[in-house]
Chains A and B, each alone.
Chain A
Amino acid sequence: MKPSTILAILLILPIFSSAPVYFFGRIGMLRSKGKPGEIAFFLALASVLITFIFFALAVNEFFKTGPIDIYYGSIKLSFDAISLVMSGTLLLLTFVVILFSPVYLSEELNQEKYYAQVLVLMTSILGLTCATDLFNLYAWYELMAISSYSLVSFYCKTLEPLEAGIKYLVQSAAGSSFIILAIAILFGGTGEVAIPDLQNAVSGNSTAIIASVALFVIGYGIKAALVPMHFWLPDAHCQAPASISALLSGIVIETGLIALLRSLSVFKNTSLPIGTLFLIFGALNMLVGNLSALRQKEIKRMLAFSSITHMGYIVLGVGFALTSATSAQMSDGIFIHIFNHAMMKGLAFLCIGALFYYLKIAHGSREPISVEDLNGISQHYPLFAFCLSVAVLALGGLPLFSGFISKWKIMASGAVASGAWNAILIIFLGLNSVLSLGYYAPLVNRMYRIKGAGADVIAEKQTVSKMIIFPLVILTVGIIFFGLFPMVLDRFSEAAKNAFYTMFY
């Protein structure tokens, strides 16, 4: 098979399979009595697995011959190392999310819509990471946004998910209009939208260029949850189904950041302080995310704020890389952290989802899981308690787990460049990491109590389905494995780092 064919199939397979998933899933739902979502689930799983095969082929080709390009008319899509890391993360996360879903959603109607939309979301992210012109980037981005709006409001029987969906939609669409305006400014000035052409055409620091940088930063910054454009995130991530929260936190906001970086690479020949901008956003994100999470009672909301913090770590790494070429040479921590964060946050959300299912849905309740609900769950659900402990301790940056390694790498990349501000920001990152343990660690203590507050609910313990255990175990093993053997990822992160370096230097 030609490399371009492989890439074409990789990109279109999920979106084309979403139609049969919806269609047959609908038929299956109307016919079956017992398990309405079964057909849609199997089709979606098959689609993800086949996509994964093509992904593996594409990776193989990438390491043999370098980036894979395909052309549709004047549009060029290129599968480079950054696309590789992002798609790998996406596929892993989608796989576990889909595996997790049939039991978790078994009480819901409209499961076929869920699976179909997840597949559309997947295609849009695969495509976005391969886009090489600004407008194409925007188009994929809009597709991703549209498919995630209604996933956020999937529980449409209650008001809060609708509220979260509306807020998310309005803010995200406002951001889109900013992006369009930014593209229009560049397009009007040069007549180009392809990033390599624009890189050559754009230089200087006129007001128009500054305006387009700012509009890009705000527009994509909304999706990447940069403070103060983050207000939609806690609402959306805590109201979506846990599996969707895992996807949103684990990959969607990071994709927003990648889109932002690709767009800003247009300005590599200008002398604007883009790196400083990222440093400031990184510091703000860490602080606001941590302080807001500190007193949350609702765990999904706490985890949502923690996503803002982790975006802060990643954005800080980007800032280090953009302010100094030596740091950029060591910026692989950014990509490793994106991958690790997807696993850690994915695991945390899926554990909360599993607990939500067994403690709440199975008893006919829809109350969100609060910190009190965790009291003593290790006595009845030892596996969930263990997995959630691993997830939160990894998020807090303790060693043995992968979050420690990538956080260190980000700090090391900042440390190679001398400068008082880098040193201060590294200390600030370290202190924020300590602060974040202030809300993660008590969760572990609660889970390993012997007496639980919700003893009456736990008393009728359910047998845990293997379908729910399997995804959790995959992610837990991954977090510990990559915490002890981080060098396994070096090959990919090195390549991504080089691609990132050439984008800006």
Chain B
Amino acid sequence: MSLETLIPSLILFPWLGSILVWAMHDRNEKRIHMTASVVSIICALVSIQLTFQIGNQKIVYYTFGAALGELSFSADAMGVILVLIANVIGSLAVIFSMDYMQGERNLSRYYAMILLFIGAMSGLVLTANIFIMFFFWEVTALCSYQLISFYNDDPNAVRGGLKALLMTQFGGVGLLFAALMIFNQVHSFDLNVFAEAAVNVDIEQGVLALIGFSLIIAAAAKSSQFPFFTWLPDAMEAPTPVSALIHAATMVNAGIYLLSRFFPAFAAVPAWKETMIWVGLIGILLTSILAITTYDLKRVLAYSTVSQLGYMFVAIGSGSVLAGQFHLLSHAIFKALLFLAAGAVIHACGTRDMRSMGGFFKRTPFVSTSFLIGALALTGIPILNGFWSKELILESVHKESSTLVLILMLISVGLTAIYTLRCFKMVFMGKNDYAHLHPSPPAMKTVLGILSIGALTSWIAISWFSESLKQTLPYHAIESLNVTEMAHHIFSDPITCFALGITTIGFLIAWLLPKKEFPESLLKLSANSFGFDSITSGVVQSIIASAERIRCIQTGILNWNIFGLMVGLLGVLIILFMGR
């Protein structure tokens, strides 16, 4: 297939599938499962086909209308890799759902939203028009919100969904503003036109900085970074396959994608890169501590997602887009694996509270092994994919950033080891109180198996990965690496030994950590995300209070209404006389 048919089919095919699934209502459960899986598997195959087209010419379909630009797409490596992740992990999540969501109501809505999301994600990363990008950006927010609050009867789910929607939309204003400022400067929505103008210093520095920082706001909100990191843990009310797909592997990567894509344009803006490093770093440290103190299995994983995304922020901030993108790939695989394995555990025992879990290793060895593989990749144990990408990031930090940043990063490596082992110990070791566990069905096991293999081997692709990035993104200063070069880079850097040593210390601490509960005050603080939830709710409360206050002007008494009219007249007269 040629590029002209591949790209639209990646967007339109899942969308048509979504309409089809929606139209099926809930009449025949099995048929809905089958249709959704078939559609998503075809998408995955098409996306694999797309990887052979990397670097092909840009294609334009038609003019979308005045003030909207052209519907144009380009298949550069950065986009194609995210398409691959979205579609392949998407299809795995859908297959996993066949067992996980069995017997649920409203399945048509569930699958329709997932398919809509997959199509939108492909569109978001393939387009070369910033308006169309914003369009898909918002569609993914819509799907994410609908899926988080899939269990609409549960008030927590509704609250989580609305929180995610409003916070990412708040960030969306940043992207919107950036897009419009770009339009103001270059009179085009084409990303490449803007990138060229920015590299050639055709844009005023102040405006460029404004655009750059708006984009950081947008990315931080979408990728759930400091100070917006509180929505992702609350999004864990979604069905687990959704958490794996949207809130670990794909949508949250959109922010990273955005910053990587625009990196060359803003690299010279003072304090832009530093801001990114510190946004990432603060997020990493806060959420690593939160992950140690929570008892909810999915929240541990959510916090760890925030902190891993923070690593990517730091990587981009240190100027290494390659390391950031490579960690994005590794993280998508191992975090999807962790979430789905956790989903299998939750499916088996019916709770998310780690305190009432234990001893799964003996009962469900397959699921436990795959979780272990994911956990080891997360902590960065050699030869798993997480090790390579994390070390690449640490190496770039070592080269480019200050010692303080490096020390804090190493501390966070230790914290990662602590929360991962603590979580593993609580869930899989120890004794088991369950009389009956649901066995894990075959579809779940297949998916976990595929992802485990991915986590073990995906790093081998580094030479293809770096080469295609280098070819298609000339401005990003990407060096091409092959496996031996990468190994040489990493093992010749003393930081690697430090990191591994600190990981070991972290494991020891977690192993020796007393099983006692944490003090009440600490738990309270962590439940409140170190006060950031209070800030959010404070903002919400003050908006509600001002809403109540402003409603009082609607007195309902005719005389006051006429008075309002006269106030208006007076105001208009004043403005007119002042502006005369």
A and B touch in the complex (CB under 8 A): yes
Asked whether B184 lies within 8 Å of A276 as measured between CB atoms, the reply is no
B60 sits at the interface (CB 8 A) = no
- Among A277, A449, A494, the residue within 8 A (CB) of B66 is A494
Asked whether A210 lies within 8 Å of B577 as measured between CB atoms, the reply is yes
A355 sits at the interface (CB 8 A) = no
Tell whether A400 pairs with B139 under 8 Å between CB atoms, given A229-B568, A441-B162.
Answer: yes
Asked whether A228 lies within 8 Å of B567 as measured between CB atoms, the reply is yes
Asked whether B138 lies within 8 Å of A398 as measured between CB atoms, the reply is yes
A180 sits at the interface (CB 8 A) = no
B-facing residues in A447-484 (Cβ within 8 Å): 448-451
- Among A229, A234, A280, A437, the residue within 8 A (CB) of B554 is A234
Collect the chain A residues with CB atoms within 8 Å of residue B558's CB: 166-167, 170-171
Asked whether A415 lies within 8 Å of B152 as measured between CB atoms, the reply is no
Give how many A-B residue pairs fall within 8 Å (CB-CB).
192
B-facing residues in A170-200 (Cβ within 8 Å): 170-171, 174-175, 178
Task: Bits for B172-191, please: 1 = Cβ < 8 Å to A, else 0.
Answer: 11001100110110010000
Which stretch in A38-46, A57-65, A427-435 binds the other chain?
Answer: A427-435
Asked whether B158 lies within 8 Å of A445 as measured between CB atoms, the reply is yes
Asked whether B170 lies within 8 Å of A431 as measured between CB atoms, the reply is yes
Asked whether A487 lies within 8 Å of B63 as measured between CB atoms, the reply is yes
Asked whether A449 lies within 8 Å of B547 as measured between CB atoms, the reply is no
A-facing residues in B551-565 (Cβ within 8 Å): 551, 553-554, 556, 558, 560-562, 564-565
Asked whether A451 lies within 8 Å of B165 as measured between CB atoms, the reply is no
Tell whether A405 pairs with B166 under 8 Å between CB atoms, given A445-B158, A450-B106.
Answer: no
What's the least CB distance linking A424 to chain B, in Å? 10
Task: Bits for B542-580, please: 1 = Cβ < 8 Å to A, else 0.
Answer: 011011101101101010111011011101110111111
Asked whether A330 lies within 8 Å of B67 as measured between CB atoms, the reply is yes
A434 CA / B228 CA spacing, docked (Å): 15
For chain B, the count of residues having a C-beta within 8 Å of the partner chain is: 68
B105 sits at the interface (CB 8 A) = yes
Asked whether A412 lies within 8 Å of B562 as measured between CB atoms, the reply is no
Collect the chain B residues with CB atoms within 8 Å of residue A170's CB: 558, 562
A339 CA / B177 CA spacing, docked (Å): 25
Name B67's closest neighbour in chain A (CB-CB). Answer: A412
Tell whether A294 pairs with B544 under 8 Å between CB atoms, given A404-B135, A430-B173.
Answer: yes
Asked whether B573 lies within 8 Å of A210 as measured between CB atoms, the reply is yes
A214 sits at the interface (CB 8 A) = yes
What's the least CB distance linking A82 to chain B, in Å? 17
A175 CA / B558 CA spacing, docked (Å): 14
Which stretch in A11-19, A23-31, A217-225 binds the other chain?
Answer: A217-225
- Among A178, A271, A415, A435, the residue within 8 A (CB) of B180 is A415
Asked whether B180 lies within 8 Å of A218 as measured between CB atoms, the reply is no
B-facing residues in A259-281 (Cβ within 8 Å): 271-273, 276-277, 280
Asked whether A277 lies within 8 Å of B162 as measured between CB atoms, the reply is no
Collect the chain A residues with CB atoms within 8 Å of residue B165's CB: 437, 441
Collect the chain B residues with CB atoms within 8 Å of residue A414's CB: 180
Collect the chain B residues with CB atoms within 8 Å of residue A235's CB: 556
Asked whether A218 lies within 8 Å of B565 as measured between CB atoms, the reply is yes
B145 sits at the interface (CB 8 A) = yes
Task: Bits for B72-83, please: 1 = Cβ < 8 Å to A, else 0.
Answer: 000000000000
Asked whether A291 lies within 8 Å of B547 as measured between CB atoms, the reply is yes
B-facing residues in A398-415 (Cβ within 8 Å): 398-400, 404-405, 408-409, 411-415
Asked whether B162 lies within 8 Å of A333 as measured between CB atoms, the reply is no
Collect the chain A residues with CB atoms within 8 Å of residue B139's CB: 398-400
A31 CA / B160 CA spacing, docked (Å): 58
A228 CA / B564 CA spacing, docked (Å): 6
Asked whether A448 lies within 8 Å of B106 as measured between CB atoms, the reply is yes
A332 sits at the interface (CB 8 A) = yes
Given contacts A226-B568, A441-B161, 12 further A-B contacts (CB under 8 A): A228-B567, A271-B580, A277-B575, A382-B25, A404-B138, A405-B65, A411-B176, A412-B68, A413-B67, A427-B173, A434-B173, A487-B65
22 contacts between A and B (CB under 8 A): A174-B562, A210-B576, A213-B572, A214-B569, A228-B565, A229-B565, A234-B554, A273-B575, A291-B547, A291-B551, A292-B551, A294-B544, A295-B544, A399-B142, A408-B68, A415-B180, A415-B184, A445-B149, A445-B161, A451-B153, A487-B62, A487-B65
